[in-house]
Structure 1
Amino acid sequence: MTTLSDLLSDPLPSGLGLSDRQWLVLSALPGMGARRLARLACECPVWPDGWLSRLPEQAASALRLWLDHPQRSPFGALFDGLDAWLTADPRNTLLHPDHPAWPALLAQLPDPPGVLWASGDLTALSLPTLAIVGSRRPSREGLHQAHRFGRELAERGWCVVSGLALGVDGAAQEAALNTRGRSIAVLGCGVDVIYPPRHATLYRRLLDEGGLLLSEHPPGTRARPAFFPRRNRIVTGVSLGVLVVEAAEKSGSLVSARLAIEQNRELFALPGSLNNPQARGCLNLIREGAVLTTCVDDILDELGHWAETPGTRSAAPAVPGSDDDDPMLGWLSDVPTPLDALVTLTGQDVTACQLQLLELELEGLATQAAGGWIRLPR
């Protein structure tokens, strides 16, 4: 779960004040990689001299060439592709840590993507998110459960996150759309590449029915086996928890389960028959501490601060500006509100929200409780 202490130690803080192109260049520099970029960004270097002094020699040379002689830099083709892609469809966006829609949860990863190419409706990122993963060759029961959980989570106001893969992933995402809910697909290729081809209809539904496609790879990038394990860290990274529906003992879904644990996400697993090979991975996860899950309420009980979704809350937050001098206080109520939600609601970055919350706490107006921040009675 997201706590203030988690986000105070963010490896990649937002609010560095960099533009789309600057983030794109940093993410494409030779010899960098997501982990090194995160470490450098944590130091909040001044642009561009602070970055140049900290970058490895090869990366610094490439950045200096672009700054001094942009027409000679190989990044020109990358920018041309970005401009063409952005103008081709108003639903296309380049997300980065300074973008207001950037998922705050990614700040907890040691290797968050430098940028995300996004196509679809960005408001899907403002909902509570749960990843649903599992076998690409599920049993009939596994397929039924993927549909059930995808549908019921969407009906409760949750966004289903997965990788558009065959089997459990696609079934859960399809079920979420069938109930007019939201779903996010993180791809191991460019967002304009349909993979697997058998999910062409689901791909188009995500674009046309309020879903969202994300990728850390530029448009046109073909799917490669090496991309999918990296893709999984984003699937789990933008999610509050991960549900494994079916997984064999050596299933690729167990990679997502391991990532969920490393990223301090809640891990849920469905039990299954001892005679079903596709259930053995889930049974092992439960034995190792995953939450045994038989219904959606098992998930909402663990993720208690999101259990009362919009439309079902018993105590709605005050409307900002109603009778409060501090706009942040207006978003708080006696129902714990996570920092992620406050970032989305206020449109401010994580650091600004943290400072305002700490000031409210010092004034005795708010405090941190299990699951988020609450407003104290005056």
Structure 2
Amino acid sequence: MDTRQHPLVPWLHLWHTPGLGPATFLLLTAAHGGPRAVLEAGPAAWREQGLDDAAVAFLEGPTPEGVLRDLEWAQDPQRHILTLEDPAYPPRLRAIAAAPPVLYVVGDPRVLHWPLLAVVGSRHPTPGGRDTAHAFSAHLARSGLVIASGLAQGIDAAAHGGALDGGGLTVAVTGTGPDRVYPAGHRDLARRIAAEGALVTELPVGTPVRREHFPRRNRILSGLAVGTLVVEAAHRSGSLITARHAAEQGREVFAIPGSIHNPMARGCHRLIRQGAKLVETADDILEELGPQIFIPREEEGPSPGNEADATAAPGEAPDAEHAALLEAMGHDPVAVDQLVERTGLTAGAVSSMLLLMELRGQVASLSGGRYVRLQPEHER
């Protein structure tokens, strides 16, 4: 492959330079008029811009092997390398501070221009949190939003899966090179995402897993999206970093509240105290984002989190187990072990459904681990 005049080479050579991050990259290209002009400026100019000896030696050298690997990787028609000057580069991401100068995309880069909602949360959620992420993502994807997340375990995987199961599109922003999948157990999920959306990273081919890459990944995730939804997050969760980036970027931040006894709800409660929009139903998000999204004309089914889901509006059938659990509750406060005995469900299944129904406003938790069924609004 003759790379001497390849338009991507100056971008990639500069991007591979050790110690040179997005902010310095943008300062250099602004000062000299583009990546090719930076490479032609010479050592004196590079040092004047604050580059150290290692960076200067790298820029003086021949086309790096890493650049050749990137170009070879991009020979596949489903793989793309986008620069800030490329019309295919997502405009919302271009608008953030220290936007990635280079993006590696597997799949269809056009979906990055559509309205995305970042859905994030704990890697170790409760069963109810996982169900909520899946249900919200399925409904929101059917309603015209592309669901974006980070391909991690827990809430991320549930969000991607919900979007795909709902027949929608999803985008994964990763913290490794575009040829790596982390965690490895999500290879099949990654293939589904690439086929029905896109995998995105700013990290070059061959970049392994490193802890410091994930905060960088989070700013891209929030930067691509019109808003960020936090489903479950501990008090010091990495998901709060994504939410902070979203707020700094002028994007909407949504949070789902939970039980005061659930440690996975503390991060969401902290965000709500700081001004995040409290979300009880998926339609709360659709109403807030309004004209930024396309809503299908045909009815796609009830929204997760809506009372109609489990109170059986005319023509709709509620989930059988949820309906059975509501029926078993009666009208008096009841403990989980009593519900297990009445329904024959496991304690884990009952607890998971109760948490989801609490978010939907169908039940309320009381002291002593008891729950009570709430009366639907049309019956009050």
Q: Do both share a fold (TM > 0.5)? A: yes
How far apart are residue 303 of structure 1 and its match?
Answer: 1.7
Q: Does 1:161 align with 2:148?
A: yes
Structure 1 match to 2:130: 143
CA pair 214-308 structure 1, distance change in 2 beyond 3 A: closer
Note if contact 1:188-1:231 (Cα within 8 Å) is conserved in structure 2. Answer: yes
Structure 1 residues 265-311: Cα deviation after superposition (integer angstroms, max 9, x where no partner) = 11000011111111111011111100001122211222222144466
Structure 1 match to 2:8: 20
Identity %: 41
Note if contact 1:301-1:307 (Cα within 8 Å) is conserved in structure 2. Answer: no
Structure 2 match to 1:240: 226
Structure 2 match to 1:278: 264
- Which of 277, 282, 300 pairs up with 1:296? 282
Structure 2 match to 1:353: none
CA pair 267-308 structure 1, distance change in 2 beyond 3 A: same
Matches within 5 A, 1:1-378: 19-43=7-31, 45=33, 48-49=36-37, 52=41, 53=45, 55-58=49-52, 59=55, 62-63=58-59, 65=60, 73=62, 75-87=63-75, 89-208=76-195, 210-309=196-295
Tell me the secondary structure at the aligned position of residue 303 of structure 1: helix
Note if contact 1:300-1:306 (Cα within 8 Å) is conserved in structure 2. Answer: no
Which residues of structure 2 form unaligned runs of 5+?
1-5, 299-380
Which residues of structure 1 form unaligned runs of 5+?
1-17, 66-71, 313-378
How far apart are residue 40 of structure 1 and its match?
Answer: 3.6
CA pair 46-179 structure 1, distance change in 2 beyond 3 A: closer
CA pair 310-20 structure 1, distance change in 2 beyond 3 A: farther
Tell me the secondary structure at the aligned position of residue 118 of structure 1: strand
Cα distance in 2 for partners of 1:139, 1:113 equals 34
- Give the AA of the match of 2:255: A
How far apart are residue 46 of structure 1 and its match?
Answer: 5.5
CA pair 268-46 structure 1, distance change in 2 beyond 3 A: closer
TM-score, normalised relative to structure 2? 0.70
How far apart are residue 253 of structure 1 and its match?
Answer: 1.0
Cα distance in 2 for partners of 1:94, 1:50 equals 20
TM-score, normalised relative to structure 1? 0.70
Q: Which has the larger radius of gyration?
A: 2
How far apart are residue 126 of structure 1 and its match?
Answer: 2.6
Note if contact 1:151-1:175 (Cα within 8 Å) is conserved in structure 2. Answer: yes
CA pair 99-48 structure 1, distance change in 2 beyond 3 A: closer
Cα distance in 2 for partners of 1:276, 1:46 equals 51
Cα distance in 2 for partners of 1:273, 1:46 equals 52
Instruction: Note the aligned Cα RMSD (angstroms).
Output: 2.2
CA pair 201-263 structure 1, distance change in 2 beyond 3 A: same
How far apart are residue 61 of structure 1 and its match?
Answer: 5.7
